[in-house]
Copies of this chain bind each other. A is one copy, B any other.
Amino acid sequence: MITVSEAEQIILSHRKDYGVESVPFLEANGRVLAEDILADRDLPPYDRVTMDGIVIRYADYESGNRLFRITATQAAGDAPIRHLNADCCLEIMTGAACSGDADTVIPYEKIQVSDGVARIIDEPVARGQNIHRQGQDRRQGETVMTAGHRIGPAHISMAASVGKSVLQVKKAPRIVIVSSGDELVEVTETPLPYQIRRSNNYSSWAVLKRHYGIEAEMLHLPDNEEIIRSEIARFQKDFDVIILSGGVSMGKFDYIPQALEATGVQLQFHKVRQRPGKPFWFGTFGDKGVVFALPGNPVSTFMCLHRYVLPWLEASLGFPEAAPLYAVLGKQVHFEPALTYYIQVKLAHSSEARLLAQPVEGHGSGDFSNLLHADAFLELPAERNTFFEGEVLRIFPFKNA
């Protein structure tokens, strides 16, 4: 049986590239940019006034002038008014374009105006003040955003200002989420006393939708060897990623591993030295196909999703590599088996800027309702058995909000 870090390495070595697509810039939030974006003009594109007031030539102030006759008013969006001389100024508004040798803006708060003449009443005045110089942030043709960055609201705004209304972003794989097990019925059905409703697939679906904008297909397989085999063969044609849950342990009707191999999926590993999630099965098919066959226990599915599937997905989508996250264990934990143990924790931020992780007590790994009260899995390495309060350990936060 391989270790957690071996499993992680194998999975990440099978990261794939699903290409590029164009999306309207407003829909690109959260996607990974797949092109460099250049400034189509200088940024700012002109000497841009940043305060409302008057604009003068600094040289006139320097030579002692404090009174300036207002010759005109220039609003933002007006063509620049050029004419200025030693005794004159323009009244000018935030966002307007300076021109010629007008180079210094004195805000209303620092002048007094009477009879069309502005008097400076608050000094000193600095050369070039309150003007955001053309090209000060970026020169035309310079790169403002590079490929490989994740797009956030500031990128959306920058795309708008350089006129990119369509952006090239990394394309997501086609994903199918497959439940299995004859004891499972639909959410809207009333289960028989020995049946339960399907549930854990929906959490995977919701995470993919909300955090990656991926609408995965959802399907269910009965415990029927023939159907499983033909469906799995079909999935390999229609999807890039197959996320199965259930049917991968030692049960008599756990046909999934055989069906995967019989239909040409290349087994990369089966079973990982971890709890929960030991029976995890991982394989690949064709050029770009991967199969995550996750154990059916809801906590196992949820853990494997966060520990393995999402990091693979993020790597394949070209996300910049994220540094590991750590938290301070809030309570001693003892765990005997030589397995990496994932406990559910509630996170809190201390006023000393530390991240604290308090174990959520429950009825064991099968108790899915614990997850409602936890924020993350905390990873307890297999090499040790006792973990002390105050130790710093790695966490995998749930993709919640």
Interface residues contributed by chain A, number (CB under 8 Å): 120
Is B45 touching A210 in the complex (CB atoms < 8 A)? Answer: no
Establish whether residues A182 and B76, one from each chain, have CB atoms under 8 Å apart when the complex forms.
yes
A267 to B158, CA, bound (A): 32
Select the residue from A93, A96, A137 with max chain B CB neighbours within 10 A.
A93
**Can you name the residue of chain B whose Cβ is closest to the Cβ of A189?**
B163
Question: A56 to chain B: closest CB distance in Å?
Answer: 17
Tell me whether A353 and B197 are in contact (CB under 8 A).
no
Q: Are B158 and A368 neighbours in the complex by a CB distance under 8 Å?
A: yes
Q: How far apart are the CA atoms of A50 and B157 in the complex, in Å?
A: 51
- Contact of B77 with A182 in the complex, beta carbons under 8 Å: yes
Pull 23 A–B residue pairs with CB atoms less than 8 Å apart, ordered by A: A25-B187, A26-B206, A29-B206, A30-B401, A46-B194, A75-B182, A75-B252, A76-B182, A76-B251, A76-B253, A93-B253, A97-B194, A109-B250, A132-B366, A152-B399, A153-B207, A156-B206, A157-B199, A159-B187, A160-B187, A165-B188, A327-B353, A353-B392
Interface residues of A (CB under 8 A from B): 25-26, 29-30, 41, 43-46, 48, 50-53, 73, 75-80, 91, 93-97, 107-109, 132, 136-138, 144-145, 149-150, 152-165, 181-184, 187-188, 190-200, 202-207, 209-211, 223, 246, 249-254, 296-298, 302, 323-328, 348-356, 362-364, 366-369, 371-372, 374, 392, 398-401
